[in-house]
Chain A
Amino acid sequence: MSKVSKLDELSRSWAIAVKDMHIYYLKPSTLMFGVLFPFTLFLSFTVGRDIPIDRLVPMLVAQTVFWASSSVGPTSIPLERRLRTFERYLSAPLSLISLLFGKTLAGMIFGLSVSVLSLLIGIIALGATVTGFATLLIGLALSSLVFSAMGIMFASIPTENPGDVMMPLTSVRIPLLFISGIFIPISQLPPVGQVAAFMSPLTHTLDLIRAGLGGQSNFGIAVNIIILLLYIAAFMWLGTRFNLKIMKSE
């Protein structure tokens, strides 16, 4: 029997991602938490306040990539547990990491699409300018991957109801908005808040997007990229460990 190569595994992950795109992108909970929620939150925090464009657009783009990327996995995995289609992956010839990577890719592409939409709104309606295309692209790609992996990690909660995942996930997502410079600039946070801001992946997303749109990164682009890469590895590893634990206990 021929061995399954890494490329084969990647192609199987891609098959999962494509199937998820067909089935879950238009599910109510994906649209609510992935599209409606970030735009509504953005409007409620910005309408009537005199916020300069160089803060406003990065805030919008960072928020949308954050919410949209982390909303697909927590919708698809519990539903697939309920319908027992998740078992199809577990009994298929692919590793757990490839399965979770496929799921992560679906969230990543959704996050990228919604954030590109918000970026276009920022450019066309609000007059933002892209000054560092590569930085912006890296920022969006890494951020959508990190937040999608975060959603997948939370979706490891063994439940058949997406709400049971969205609840704890949202209770982490909302505080992150307040410590990552989205609504309150990091310089205005107390010292402990600034340490927390450094630890938050969303801070580094905002930094990279700001740098791509003509602003400055607080912690430096290299640091931003390293932190996001570390979070991707950590979330993927934890997601795999949690799923393995479920396989042992179920």
Chain B
Amino acid sequence: MTAGIKEFPGTSLKESDFEEGNVLFTTWTPKAEYAWDAGVAIGRYLAELKEGRIIGVRCRHCRRTVVPPRNFCEWCFRPMDDWIALSDTGTINTFSLCYVTWDMKRVEEPEISAVIDIDGTKPPVGIMHLLGEVEPDDVKIGMKVKAVWKPPEEREGAITDIKYFKPISNI
């Protein structure tokens, strides 16, 4: 739509115009703090992570157990029926070797992110996390892994209370 426009209206400014005082300006930094209410389901999920446990919820109607917990079954739209204690082991569903950080900086040693189907979910449902104590070349889909937790005093009720998942054969 703008392809035919050669000159846009307005006054273009460069960073140097601000630095050299060619233009008057004011700056404003709003205090954009927020608190996102985790709600009943995720709230308890995070609280249990702090205790070193992974929990899910079950829908009896659909006969499925899912993680992370949610209030409603998105298959049948009924409220979920039960809280289910899951184990902190699982199976690698898929994984990726990541050679850049979140802000696009190159890293030599890749971070290995993976979707891990948590044991006890039915049909298998995964959560995304990191893999550790494993060489990138050795990671295989279907590999059994176990959560490595932070020490209890360092946990804060976050998914990062699990440091990473490591292959069970290494235990």
**A joins B in a complex:** no
B→A interface (CB under 8 Å): none
**Which residues of A are at the interface with B, using a C-beta cutoff of 8 A?**
none
